[in-house]
Structure 1
Amino acid sequence: MLPLQGLKIVELGHYIAAPFATRLLADLGAEVIKVEPPEGDPVRGWGSLHQGHPVWFSVHGRNKLSVTLDLKSAEGRDKVLKLAGRADSLIENYRPGYMERVGLGPATLHAANPNLIIARVSGYGQDGPYRDKPAFGAIGEAMGGLRHLTANPGQTALPPPRCGVSISDDLAGMYAAMAVVSACWGVKNGNHQGRIIDLDLVSSVFSLMEGMLPEYGLFGWVRQPQGAAIKTAAPTNTYLCADGKWLCIAGNSDLIFKRLMAVIGQPQMATDPRFVTNATRCDNVEALDAAIAAWTATKTAKEAEEALDGAEVPCSRLYDMKDCVEDPHFQARDLVMEVEDPLLGKVLHPAAPFKFDGVSSRDMVRWTGAAAGAHNDHVFGELLGMKP
């Protein structure tokens, strides 16, 4: 039995943030009914296609019941209210004001179900001067402070790169999933506050900025891009190897640092006053990184990794997806699963990132992302008792 079995969620989500939240909840066993417009979620048109079907949606929509409704119609609105009436939570990520305009604002939803937890995910939040501005994930990265940090120092002619996935949407989705479970627990225990959850992309990224806000408040410091390094710990960087591949090394605890210096043939550096503590290593990181880079330049990435593994120094080559799929640790942890998708055939899925005693990772993928409206008859007929 999965942990959230019995929890009922209605998703009025499109694109990424809310659907990512419900994917996590569905993986954990919640019944998720995804309400899509008649033409389907716009994200179905993103990414590569196989036999005319979106590959990403196999994962993005997995374990969800897909129904199609026109929210702007009276029939669509009434059906959403019926769904909300039997649900524990409704998660949406439309722009602020849209739900109210189509007659599905919190007051109307709570009239249908006073205990309903409503999670609202938006670009900037439900209030504030920017609430009505449009936003996608890249805007959350930019305004939340993350994109400022992804540049290489002094590389002002090139734009700071994004991380390659919609990280601010995913973060907001994770926070939404956690908040929904928390609020449902509160309702179960008689706490009826917190029935409306307001989450946004910018705040989700901003929450990750670690010590940067207190540093600014106390000292006026504005942390600048560090490239592959980080200002607060050393050595932790990515170093070029003899075969042109990169190796990430994190040797920033004092004990690990001593082992690292022994491996690279520089044991005297471990007792050098410039490097004996993390603080002094941070002050002299250029000389330290140069010594490590000189060593990795003489080894292939695999040779360097094996030498550091033998000394228990945290390190890893930079994996691409092929490396992930072929790695024995990924295989042993069942992180890559081959599943049967009725629309795509055999397809690889990432396992849910959480493991529970007595629950197989494969138990969490009950079915793949379905075609838009695939479950209309089941949901409206069997669950709501409506005529076909």
Structure 2
Amino acid sequence: MGTSGHLTNDVLFAIKHLSDWFPIGKLKGVGRKLGGSYNLNIKVETSQGEFVVRVLNSSNTEEHLRYTQKAFTVLGKHGVPVLNPILTLSGDPFVYYREKLLQVTRFIRADAFKYRPDQVRASAQMLSVFHQSLKNTIAGPDPSWSFYRSNDYFKNAIGLLKGMSDIPEYELYKVEKLAEDILEAWEKSQDALPTAILHGDWHFWNQLYKADEVYRVMDFDFIQQGKRVHDIAYSLWAIYILMPGYSKTFDELFIKGYANLTDEEVKILPVAIAKVSLFFLCQSAYSSTPKEKWRRQFRKQMPLIQWLLSDGEQRMYELVHGKKEETILEPEDEESDIETNIEADLESDSESDLEELE
């Protein structure tokens, strides 16, 4: 296998003792780091095959991991192909070593997301099955970190940004006014929206595919109870921001692939997507380089937020109920065309945005 360079000594030591904790055979080699920026994922080979060691982010907790394991059991019974962690010799889904939580999964050979329409449709269908499978599951502990935030998070982050001299005042003023509209609309919608157990990070790179069907669902670090429209909105946000050249078809495929959206969910979807964009803008307040992160996120997220709040409701309605006489995705006014606004920034920023998703 490849080298194990750039791994800390404690991680290397833990890997060398995996067979003491997990029934995976004798270690033969340590391979490369795999994708993902939230957890450290390392491929290893043993006498029983290939595996992935997951050194979990410090935000993970034993309580949340045990709850997630219970959800895996339910999902498996309903045919959702989760990437299950291998249990330790004592029956736990993790080990705790030197203040680090470690898990081991099998290394799965399958296709990554390749921007194929059938993959988008399959992802939406699987998300619907995911939500339906857990509909009778009781809520567990919230993750220590999440993309699904309360209104207070946004208000506090904007307050912090106001105290930073490097953030342009006129840009922050625009964001604050839009945030007020987004958060008010979201708050008013709560009673009418279905609650579900959320995956919390459902995007196309968190699934593996075979024959363009979802073969494995991965990365359950953010599973929690919330309004199920968030998972749908998060996926659509990924389409609009990370692949705007496909947005005119992929948003339709995803909406139609997800079964049983309520009228209330369709109506609030633009606000829910805008709320995801607002989250990435507000994360600038907690960045080590807030000015740079704000500059990049403002350039990418603001065109999407403005389009969603002006034309998004009509777009979502037409995707579900059919187009009206006038189309809204090819206007003469460049300012309302989401693809025109965002695509210019795709090459330079999509890779770093995807890292934030992972």
Same-fold call, TM cutoff 0.5: no
- The structure with the greater share of residues assigned to helix is 2
Structure ID, larger Rg = 1
Bigger RCO (CA 8 Å, 6+ sep): 1
- TM-score, normalised via structure 2 length: 0.23
